[in-house]
Amino acid sequence: MTGANNNEKEQAVADYYEVLGIERSASEEEIKKAYRKMSRKYHPDIAGPEYEDKFKEVNNAYEVLSDPDKRRMYDSGVDPNQPGAGAYGASPFGNMGDMGDIFGQFFGGAFSGGAQGPVPRTQPGRDALASTTIDLKTAVFGGTAHVKINTFGLCQVCGGSGAKGGSQPTTCPDCHGQGFRQKVVRTMLGQMMTSAPCERCEGHGTIITDPCPSCMGHGRVRATREVGITIPAGISDDSRLRLANQGEVGEGGGAAGDLYVDVRIRPDKQFTRNGDDLHCWVQVPMSWAVLGHDLDIDTFDGKQTITIPAGCQPEDTITLKNLGVSKLRQAGERGDLIAHISVRIPTKVSDAERDLIERFAASHDADATHVSQSSRPATAGPRKGFFSKLKDALS
C-alpha cells in the first residue's frame, strides 16, 4: 500500500505531460514542438536565472517522453528519473537504494555501493539558447549568421584553474583531501559514525588559498561574445541548430555545454515560400495577356525572362524550374519558382477604346442572357476564352 501511495505522489509531483503542456496521446513531433516552445520560454539566459529549476523540469520531461522505452515505463507508473527505477518497472526491493544511501551516511559508504571522495572542481557547463533572423535568400542558398550571447566563458587570466599566478590548490587541512569529514552522533540505536561534506573546502578536498582576482576562484567569467553560425541551404522557418561546445563554460573551466540557435526567416517582399517552391505574383497589362509578351522578372538567381502566352488568363502560372529553395540535405537539387499572372484591367478608357470594346461586346456578347455559375472552375475545352476572342477582334 505504501508503494502505491509513493507512486501516486511522484506522479502528482512530476506530470511530464503537464510540464510540456501536451496530451498523453501526443505524437513524437508534438512532443518535440512543445519542448522547443517550453525550453525557449524558460531558458535561464532568456527568462532569467530564477527559472533554472523550471528549465531543468522541462528537460527532464522531454528526456523521458522523447524516448519510447522511457515513455512506456513512465506511462506504466514508474518514473525513469526517480532513484531505484528498474528497466521496465519498479525494483522488487522497493526503496533499498534509498536505504543504502542512509546506511552509507552512517557507515562511511559500506552500504552505498562505492566509496565517497572529493567533489571535482571542474564541472560541465550548461547549454545556452539564442535566436537569429535571416532573410529568405539566405534560407534558399545557405550562408552565415552571427548571434551575441551573454554567458560564462573561460577565465583567460587563470586559464580556468581559479588560482592566481599559476599557483596550485592546497590540500584541505580539515578533511586531509578526502572532501568529507566523519563524526560520531548519538541515535536511538546508540553512537554511530556519519559523514558529511567538509565545510571548509566545500567537499573538494583542496583549497584555493590565492584565488584569481578575475574569476574569484571559479575559473570562468560572464561575458558577451559573438558566435558565427553556418546556415544550411534549404533551412525551414523556426528551425533549431545545435553548435557543440559553444554554450556555457562550467565551473573550474569545465567543458562548455552546447549552444542551440532558433532560426526564423524574415518575410520577403517579392517571394512567398511553400515547401521548396517560391511563388510570386506578376501584374501585366490586359493587352500583354491578350497578345502575349516577353518580360524580365527578378529572381534570387538574377533577372530571368518569361513569356506571357497570348490569351493568358488571370491566375495562370509560369513555372521556372530549379529556381526555388535548395532542398535540405539534397545537394544541387532545388524547388521551382512559380510566377502567378495577374491581369491589370484598365479603370479608365478613352472614347476610341470604349468604342472598340463596345464593338467587341456587340460582336461576341450580344446573345449573353445570364452568367455561368459553378462550384468548380470551368474546365478547359475547345471554346475560346475572353482574351482569345478579344485578340481575334483586334487582329
Task: Please report, in range form, the residues annotated as the binding site for Zn(2+).
Answer: 155, 158, 172, 175, 198, 201, 212, 215
The pairing of strands 337-344 and 277-285 is: parallel
Amino acid at 79: D
Alpha helices in 283-336 (DSSP H): 286-291
Contact predicate 121/204, CB 8 Å: yes
Neighbours of 56 (CB within 10 A): 13
Contacts of 357 (CB under 8 A, 6+ apart): 349
Contacts of 100 (CB under 8 A, 6+ apart): 111, 112, 113
Using CA atoms, how far residue 225 sits from 42, 306, 318, in Å, is 22, 47, 47
Torsions phi, psi for 370 (to 5 deg): -155, 165
Which candidate, 160, 164, 170, 153, places its Cα nearest to that of 122? 160
Which candidate, 186, 207, 183, 185, places its Cα nearest to that of 196? 183
Angle subtended by helix axes 351-364 and 386-394, to nearest 10? 120
Q: Would you state the cell numbers that stand for residue 254, as one nine-digit string?
A: 569545465
Distance CA(215)–CA(250), nearest Å, equals 12
Q: Which residues pair with 170 in a beta bridge?
A: 207
Q: Which segments are annotated as binding site?
A: 155, 158, 172, 175, 198, 201, 212, 215
C-alpha dihedral (268, 269, 275, 279), degrees to nearest 10 = -160
Using CA atoms, how far residue 123 sits from 138, 167, 219, 244, 249, in Å, is 38, 20, 10, 17, 9
Contact predicate 224/132, CB 8 Å: no
